[in-house]
Amino acid sequence: MDAANEAQVQIRLVAKQKKYEVPDAPLVVPQQLQRYGLSEIVNHLLGLEAPVPFDFLVDGQFLRESIASYLKEH
């Protein structure tokens, strides 16, 4: 499946630490993204020179699979 036809989902990123806050606006991302891909987006939005790995909570649980897999299971 190419990027133009890939399923997407709207997300909102919220940081617990002020230094990692990103603009409070919804983002549309491919459902196949996992933690690493989401970390890349956050690093890009923050303009970080040295990449920082992030964890992502969804409904209080760490995201350890693709967004699509999480949505399918919940």
pTM of structure: 0.87
Contact assessment for residue 52 and residue 39, using Cβ atoms and an 8 Å cutoff:
yes
pLDDT confidence tier of residue 6, bands split at 50, 70 and 90: confident
Give CA separation, 34 vs 19, 64, 68, in Å.
22, 7, 9
Distance CA 61, CA 54 (A): 14
Q: Which pLDDT tens digit goes with each residue over 18-58?
A: 999 999 999 999 999 999 999 999 999 999 999 999 999 99
Q: How many residues does the chain have?
A: 74
